[in-house]
Amino acid sequence: MSKGLITKLLILSISVLALVTVFSSYVPSLTMAQTYNITPYNTIYMFVTRSPPATGWSTYNPNIFQGGIWWYGVYQQFLAAVNITTGEFVPLLADNWTMTVLPNGTLEVLVHLRHSGWDNGIPVTCWDVWATNMLLGLVSAMVGNVTVFNNYTCAFMIPKGYYVPLTLPGAHEANSFIALEWGQGIALDWQDSYVWEPIIKTAAANYSWIWLYMFGNSTQKGEAAKVLSTLIHDYLTYKPPYTTGYSNGPYYLCDITPEYFLLCKNPYYYTVNEFKPDYIVEWQYSSMSQVYAALATGKISLWSTWIGSVSPTVIPTITSNPYIKALSFPAFGGDALYFNFLNPWLAMPQVRQAIYYAVNWTQLAQAAYGVGYTYPSPMPQDGLMPYYTNWQSMITSYFASLGPQWTMVNYTYNASLATSLLESVGFTKKNGVWYTPNGSEFTLTLYIGSNAPPAQLTLATEIANALTSFGIPTIVITYPSAEGLTIIKQGKYDLLFSYYSDIYRPGVPYYFPEAFYFLGYPFNYSHWNGIVTLPNGTSFSAPECGTMLSLNCILRVAWAINHDPWYIQIDWNSGIVFLNTQYINWPINDTSIWIGTLQHTTPAWTVLLTHISFKPPVTTTSTTTPVSTVTSTAVVTSTTTVVTSTTVVSGTTTTYTTTSTVPVTATVTSTIPVTTTAVSTVTVTKPVISTTLIIGIIIIVIIIVAAVAAIALRRR
């Protein structure tokens, strides 16, 4: 064999080794050794409910529409986000932005990005913004066109009519929310585009249709929907090959076991060192009963949720753990009853107002949820949550200045006023029962979905009882939740149990869902055209005005919701957060953080994880008194137990040493003093040499052996 051939074989071997090394770096489940020093003193424990659980990388789909991690502020990051209680914006991946209205009426939001990175080390650039925004158009969330000037400078070009006029109070905050936060949790690594390449290429080729789907007229939108239907389906169901580079937030997914997801710090995030937890463990549970048990035993560090998702009977069990603290705080929106205008009597404003006055809604809500876990509905009812304090004050003052007919009304419990209102439109009460002007008994049906939380089902029943006691016989009908749209279209109900105003947009009020989503297609709860007549005789359409960003429309819709109510605000929902204080100091008094954790469009999680601190480790030593003979089993309660399990996945042996704070029952046999020290460390070690690398080395060895054999044969 010639020296030239040997040289070529050696070059080929080196090339194979290089290619294998590069390839192995893109397969996280096969990469080099990693050791996770997971302890309660550096880790936050959360949970997800999945059935069946993801058992490893092969069963995990990173597409957020198919079970992938969707956690803004932790896994994906926004360009910027708003503090809900102050209205101030927190710069995140974008460090600054400016707004200019161009001569053609387009709003240009010029954005400059920080130097931050995906978890694979690739920089986050404006091309990622461009790709994400384009695909958001397939789910009706695109923010205009994105023009890229360079990797770190780009602009959102928002068409006229889709942004808040800059002359309106709060316009800068509202437009910042539209462009930088709402939908703009950057989720696609464009430079790693081979992962999403089939979808991105097809979307780019159909960009003009996506634009019409978002910003065209009704005819154009309908045609675009037909053209894009296959692409939309493919996008929502796509399973990209897993690789690193899915996280541009402070944490990334570094391991999957049948028990939990493990998030590690993203070393390329621009302020990663400010985040206190080294790890986030998300236990995989199949049911909420498992979650409640884990909370009560201290296995979960934090759970923030709406009070309606927790049964009042469960809370005392969870908080019986001395380390668990429950915080309740006012959140967004609340329970609501929608009137059906197909009932001619409910189409009369005086009748709807009378029903509002006839019931002590706050008392019933607190009885259903528990005192301290819900709040009185904000008054006057104007469709706005109290976080819009400046707007509410301005609206109330404005209408008060126009005279008594315009003054905003507070619907506080007043049975006498309810009686007067019914009598004013010809209703009469006989033997404790109300009769309509045509002499028929005035009865109502209240519909509620079968999947409503227990507290809401209880509340619906108590509302029916209260109306019946007032003289309006009312029955509750529970319908299969899967048939909700059919129930709405049929319109056989008189009252429909739902919710109001759970969407927050800073700066300018947003009357979603009650003013146009629940008053339009396909969810016209009220079966009403929404035409409101003002005291001055002029009329307007509430659903049309609800979508228009003008001062005149904001004022009109607020007045209509108050004086011509098509729904009743029963209560003001509270949020509840359960905190395990055994290992962590929490910013308990910062209400803005806890309110924000209930909304996916806030910087709350980013702020929270930089404002906690871990308590110093405590070594617990216990001594067992010596006994001469042990003839029975003793039950010992311990706050620490060490469980070691070995799992073999694809030929890889991984040892997990996990710690729990669940009381355990142990069998103790002892004849001498025993001192035990609690162990609180989880060490997860993965193979030092990756499988792919081993294969490459084998290939190289084969090549070299073949070369040596050839030389030996030649010498013979």
Residue 94 and residue 18 in one domain: no
Distance from C-alpha of 468 to C-alpha of 440, rounded to nearest angstrom: 16
Residue-number span of the structural domain to which 126 is assigned? 76-237
CA–CA gap between residue 140 and residue 183 (Å, rounded) = 10
Same domain membership, residue 228 and residue 343:
no
Residues 86 and 9 in one domain: no
Which of 219, 237, 255 marks a domain boundary?
237
User: Residue 36's CB: how many other CB atoms inside 10 A?
Assistant: 19
Answer yes or no: pTM beyond 0.85.
no
Do 17 and 83 share a domain, yes or no? no
User: Which of 465, 472, 474 is CA-nearest to residue 367?
Assistant: 465
pLDDT at 651: 30
Task: Choose the final residue of a domain: 203, 237, 271.
Answer: 237
Cα separation, 315 vs 327, in Å, equals 11
133: amino acid identity, one letter? N
Pair 20, 157 in one domain: no
The pLDDT value recorded for residue 576 is 94
| pLDDT at residue number 655 | 31
Do 382 and 233 lie in one domain? The reply is: no
Per-residue model confidence (pLDDT) at position 704: 52
52: in domain: no
User: Does residue 663 belong to any structural domain of this protein?
Assistant: no
Identify the pLDDT of residue 460.
98
Q: Is residue 104 part of a domain?
A: yes
Say if residue 219 is in the same domain as residue 338: no
Measured distance CA(251)–CA(432) in Å, rounded? 63
Lowest mean pLDDT among 125-129, 594-598, 612-616: 594-598
Q: What angle do CA 596, 315, 590 make, to 5 degrees?
A: 30
Q: Are 568 and 507 in the same domain? A: yes
- Among the ranges given (67-76, 120-129, 452-461, 689-698), the one the predictor scored with the smallest mean pLDDT: 689-698
If you average pLDDT over residues 388-399, what whole number do you get?
A: 90
Where a domain ends, among 198, 222, 237? 237
Give yes or no: residues 111 and 8 share one domain: no
Residue 391 covered by a domain? yes
CATH number at residue 402: 3.10.105.10
Domain count, the chain: 3
Residue 321 included in any domain: no
Domain at 185, CATH number: 3.90.76.10
Distance CA 177, CA 546 (A): 18
Q: Are 116 and 93 in contact (CB under 8 A)?
A: yes
Is residue 83 located within the same domain as residue 19? no
Q: Read out DSSP for 217-265? A: -HHHHHHHHHHHHHHHHHHHH--PPP-S----SSEEEEEE-SSEEEEEE
Among candidate residues 230, 240, 233, the one with its CA nearest the CA of residue 198 = 240
What is the per-residue pLDDT for 696? 52
Residue 86, domain member (yes or no):
yes
pLDDT at 82: 85
For 410-466, how does the pLDDT look when each residue is reduced to its tens digit (9 = 90+)? 999 999 999 999 999 999 999 999 999 999 999 999 999 999 999 999 999 999 999
Compute the mean pLDDT over every residue in the chain, rounded to the nearest whole number: 83
Asked whether the predicted pLDDT for residue 501 surpasses 50, the reply is: yes
Structural domain contains residue 200: yes
Residue 83 lies in a domain: yes
Intra-chain end-to-end CA distance of the chain, in Å: 12
Does pLDDT of 581 surpass 70?
yes
Under 8 Å between Cβ of 261 and 69: yes
Do 452 and 524 belong to one domain? yes
Q: How confident is the model at residue 344 (pLDDT cuts 50, 70, 90)?
A: very high
Same domain, yes or no: 568 and 701 = no
Residue 5 has pLDDT above 60, yes or no: no
What pLDDT shows up at residue 698?
A: 52
DSSP secondary structure, 273-322, as one string: GG---SEEEEEEESSHHHHHHHHHTT--SEEEEEGGGS-TTTHHHHHTST
105-109, 123-127, 139-143, 558-562: segment of lowest average pLDDT: 139-143
Distance (Å, whole) CA 121 – CA 113: 16
Looking at residue 284, its pLDDT comes to 97
